Structure 1
Amino acid sequence: MPDKVIVISLDAMGGDHGPSVVVPAAVQRLEASGGRLKLILHGDRQAIETHLSGKRVPEGAVEIRHTDLVVAMDEKPAQALRRGKGSSLWNAIESVKSGQADAIVSAGNTGALMAISKLQLRMAVPDLERPAIVAAWPTVKGHTAVLDVGANVSSDAHQLIEFAIMGAAFHRAVLGSKNPSIGLLNVGSEDAKGHEEVREAHTLLRERDFGLNYFGFVEGTDIGKGTVDVIVTDGFTGNVALKTAEGTARFISGLMKDALMSSPLSRLGALLAAPALKKMRRRIDPSSINGGPLLGLNGIVVKSHGGADVRGFTNAIRVAEDLVSSGFANEIARNLERMSSIMSSPAAPVESRES
């Protein structure tokens, strides 16, 4: 028997597919967890039970908490804050606030998820302005943590440094690196390139001792190369980059499938190369990296893609489990408190630090 059962709260009504994806994903994850997982599903009881029908679920592993209210995918964050109380999303987050669950996973409205999570859970450090969504991006060297990928449309220099600290803590705690390297995403590697906010963040990261392994500016081509362990950018740029990569991956997969099925000879070649092709497909499949934590909150919140399939949402639940087990939230809180202290003190002259 496991020492501790991890409890994950699921917004069963969120996303493009709702219970038709969330429930089968929950069942799959329970099967793989070996009895160490319990799930609380928030949403329409009848719809949830319909999708649970006929599936084998360990006794006591699933609890359904009914609500008729749902936050729409196109609802503005301010509206969700006013009208969202009692919804599946609100209740799922509230179970983390009350200590009944260790984490929450939702494929629902990103803005509403961020706003309600911030309202209920608060930020891990009082001076922290906003959470950020991080994605574990597959590269030739393993995985690079990219943030923000959608929580903040724009970010100033101070927020970009917060993202760097949170991304480093995430990579260290979840992806296993000891001293993750950090790069700022820019349109070039020269100091004069980029807008004012990214240049200011670059200067501060070089000149202040945040205890980070700062590499410097990186470009879009460096993401897939794995040039650095953590890539920092604003949510607008990060989200566009992420969705472009996902679309490209699906486009390439489609082209390969068409090419390999185009003739008897190519189909024979595909059969011979099947193990290698399956391995490559798993590496580039967006579902394999689905599940982006909102870093900086006083609680674990994982955002799944709204259009995620069963495999993708299953992976998002697994990410939440890993985060609960890792204790990364304490690491982030300590580092952000250190940052606040550094930013509130005068900068030391470069000469005195080199002497």
Structure 2
Amino acid sequence: MRIALDAMGGDHAPGPIVAGAVEAVHDQPGLTVVLVGDRDRIEAELAKAPQADLDRLPIVHASQVVGMEEKPVEALRKKRDNSISKCWGLMATGDVKAVVSAGNTGAMVGSALFNNKMFLPGVRRPGIAAIFPSHQGPIVLIDVGANMNAKAEDLYQYGVMGSIYAETILGVSEPKIGLLNVGTEDDKGTDLTKSTRAIYQKSPLAHRFIGNVEGRDIYEGHAHVVVCEGFVGNVLLKAGEGAVDFLFATLKQEMARLMSVVPAESGQAMASGLSALKSRFEYQEFGGAPLLGIRGACIICHGASGDRAIKNAIRVASTMADDKLNALIVEQIAAGHIAES
């Protein structure tokens, strides 16, 4: 299995990116991670890891980087030798089976959209799937930013792709699908959500579709896959990340106060419990968000990803490629008979 890793993508690249690749190769026999980016800087990071298996960490030089704050389309056109485009180029030619990057999300999606030959047969638009925690275990929220102008047919396909991901990667049997809305009643929502609901009710997924779900219901886990348009999903994702950061920062302050008035053993137990709880919400546990609906596999990581997140993203990418997830997506979208509009 060969995977292309954008070594220059992320807030702290290339250090933690290369370190994550070294760990991934060590943990997964038979895996090769192609490091794409500035050769000199990558080699300098590899020199810091004497245990690195250099034969399975080849470098493809890219002289340019798409910055996190750059406009994606403009940057992709002006910087032809950027690391993101080179990663996609490797997958387009079949040299690698998956692409992983913690770089500019818009550029990652844009690179796929520039060449619709990268789309799976029958897929209208790819969607980014994020993993959310719930009382019933992890769930899938799709789309969280790939498509800001979704149509009802797109939201149906997101449900197809999200449910296959939940089943094959998260191990959920017969995942239930919900449509994010402002209320659970049938008559609530926009023309888009009402049209989407009608499609689901007449589709092969009707028996899995539980109807509308509100934002506060996501964490209950009644739906294993929650479908929404990219604008709403991206706002929800970032609001959730901010809420988690705020909550745990507040708890940490309170813990510091309590530690001074409780026995040492009790304080250590509370700290350990808080750490375990936080791990359920951290993006590093899942590595990143898959871009579903494209040939091969693609994981888009958080810009602040460290080596653990990169290692996990590479693991998930290799699993996606191995599980023939895309074949199931093509089969089930064809079975839905969703017409182009």
Deviation at 1:208, TM superposition (A): 3.3
Aligned to 1:101: 96
1:337 alignment partner AA: A
* Distance of 1:289 and 1:300 partners within structure 2: 15
* Distance of 1:194 and 1:241 partners within structure 2: 17
5+ unaligned residues in a row in structure 1: which ranges?
1-5, 345-355
1:296-307 matches, within 5 Å, as 296-307=293-304
1:22-41 matches, within 5 Å, as 22-33=17-28, 35-41=29-35
Aligned to 1:91: 86
Which of 310, 324, 328 is residue 327 of structure 1 equivalent to?
Answer: 324
Matched residue SS, 1:188: coil
Aligned to 1:8: 3
| CA displacement, residues 172-216 of structure 1 (integer Å, 9 cap, x when unaligned) | 111122311000000100112111101110122113334661110
* Distance of 1:160 and 1:242 partners within structure 2: 17
Aligned to 2:179: 184
| Percent of paired sites with the same residue | 33
Aligned to 1:64: 59
Question: Relative to 1, partners in 2 of residues 1:74 and 1:214: Cα closer, same or farther, differing over 3 Å?
Answer: same
2:286 alignment partner AA: I
Question: Relative to 1, partners in 2 of residues 1:249 and 1:165: Cα closer, same or farther, differing over 3 Å?
Answer: same
Deviation at 1:41, TM superposition (A): 0.5
Aligned to 1:265: 261
* Distance of 2:286 and 2:246 partners within structure 1: 17
* Distance of 2:79 and 2:316 partners within structure 1: 26
2:7 alignment partner AA: A
The answer to whether 1:337 aligns with 2:331 is: no
CA RMSD of superposed structures (Å): 1.9
The answer to whether 1:74 aligns with 2:89 is: no
| CA displacement, residues 108-163 of structure 1 (integer Å, 9 cap, x when unaligned) | 222221121233452102x4221100012121111111100111123121111111
Deviation at 1:90, TM superposition (A): 0.9
2:120 alignment partner AA: A
1:1-355 matches, within 5 Å, as 6-33=1-28, 35-55=29-49, 56-120=51-115, 121-125=117-121, 127-210=122-205, 213-262=208-257, 263-266=259-262, 268=264, 269-339=266-336, 341-343=337-339
Matched residue SS, 1:139: coil
* Distance of 2:207 and 2:236 partners within structure 1: 24
Aligned to 1:350: none
Question: Relative to 1, partners in 2 of residues 1:270 and 1:36: Cα closer, same or farther, differing over 3 Å?
Answer: farther
1:279 alignment partner AA: A
* Distance of 1:141 and 1:73 partners within structure 2: 34
| CA displacement, residues 25-70 of structure 1 (integer Å, 9 cap, x when unaligned) | 112222322x232110011011111222231112411001112111
**Alignment TM-score, normalising by the size of structure 2:** 0.92
**Alignment TM-score, normalising by the size of structure 1:** 0.89
* Distance of 1:211 and 1:37 partners within structure 2: 39
